[in-house]
Amino acid sequence: MPLALEEQEQVDRLKDFWSKYRNVITGVVTAALFAYAGYSGYQWWRTSQTTSASQLYETMVTAVGKGDKEQTLRAADDLQKEFGGTPYAAMSSLVAAKIAADAGDAAKATDYLRWVAKNASNSGYSALGKLRLVTQLIEQGAAKDFAEADTILKEKPIIGFEALWLERRGDWYLAQAKVADARASYEAAWKQLNEVKEFPEEARRLLKVKLDAVGGSSR
């Protein structure tokens, strides 16, 4: 059945439009499809990464339970290299740092903590890495270690860790026999800690011991 004149004009306009813009339209649709495929692929990759990382982390936990230091540290290294964007990498490096420190390998422990401080995908793990790194550096006690710890402590504390930041600054002062400065930092930390009720009681007890040691007030 022949098209009406008006309908034929619409068809002709559509053909003309498609002739002019088909490359653009095809490009946009193709780009959208690639974008969707890329997003879906990324979601699959991220899920796959997390699953694989969790399996490797379980291997590490088993090694820790067996007291196998070499396998523990190897698993932590593999998590850093292959799954650095997952929380498991930071978790494993914190554990590995403790094991290395307990084994007397301060340099290795420091390396793990530096990695967490710089690369942790979670701000909480990053804060823990920095705080433990400061403690490790203070224990090492060289001038360059104190300087590195000072640089970290001058950073803005991650929200929720302000009290611990002040406590570590007190430790930094005390290690250099600056008792008055240490006392001031501990008292400021105590005040902050009392404003954050969810902090573990053990953290309060430890800080109070430090305050008492320098003649500070915990009121």
Can you read off the two tokens belonging to residue 212?
């008492």
Per domain, the residue ranges of the chain are 63-142, 156-219
Phi, psi of 67 (to 5 degrees): 75, 25
Per-residue pLDDT for 96 more than 50? yes
Give CA–CA dist 182/167, Å, rounded: 8
pLDDT at 193: 82
Residues whose CB falls within 8 Å of the CB of residue 115, separated by 6 or more in sequence, listed in order: 80, 93, 129
pLDDT at 15: 54
pLDDT at 37: 47
Output the CA angle 70-130-79, nearest 5 degrees: 35
Q: How confident is the model at residue 205 (pLDDT cuts 50, 70, 90)?
A: confident
Q: What is the CATH number of domain 63-142?
A: 1.25.40
pLDDT at 25: 44
Residues whose CB falls within 8 Å of the CB of residue 102, separated by 6 or more in sequence, listed in order: none
pLDDT at 109: 92
SS3 labels along the chain: CCCCHHHHHHHHHHHHHHHHHHHHHHHHHHHHHHHHHHHHHHHHHHHHHHHHHHHHHHHHHHHHHHCCHHHHHHHHHHHHHHHCCCHHHHHHHHHHHHHHHHCCCHHHHHHHHHHHHHHCCCHHHHHHHHHHHHHHHHHHCCHHHHHHHHHHHCCCCCCCCHHHHHHHHHHHHHHCCCHHHHHHHHHHHHHHHHHCCCCCHHHHHHHHHHHHHCCCCCC
Higher pLDDT, 64 or 101: 101
Q: In CATH, which of 1.10.110, 1.20.58, 1.10.260, 2.40.50 is domain 156-219?
A: 1.20.58
Can you read off the two tokens belonging to residue 11?
């068809």
pLDDT, mean of residues 120-132:
89
Give CA–CA dist 57/179, Å, rounded: 42
SS3 labels along 188-203: HHHHHHHHCCCCCHHH
Prediction pTM value:
0.72
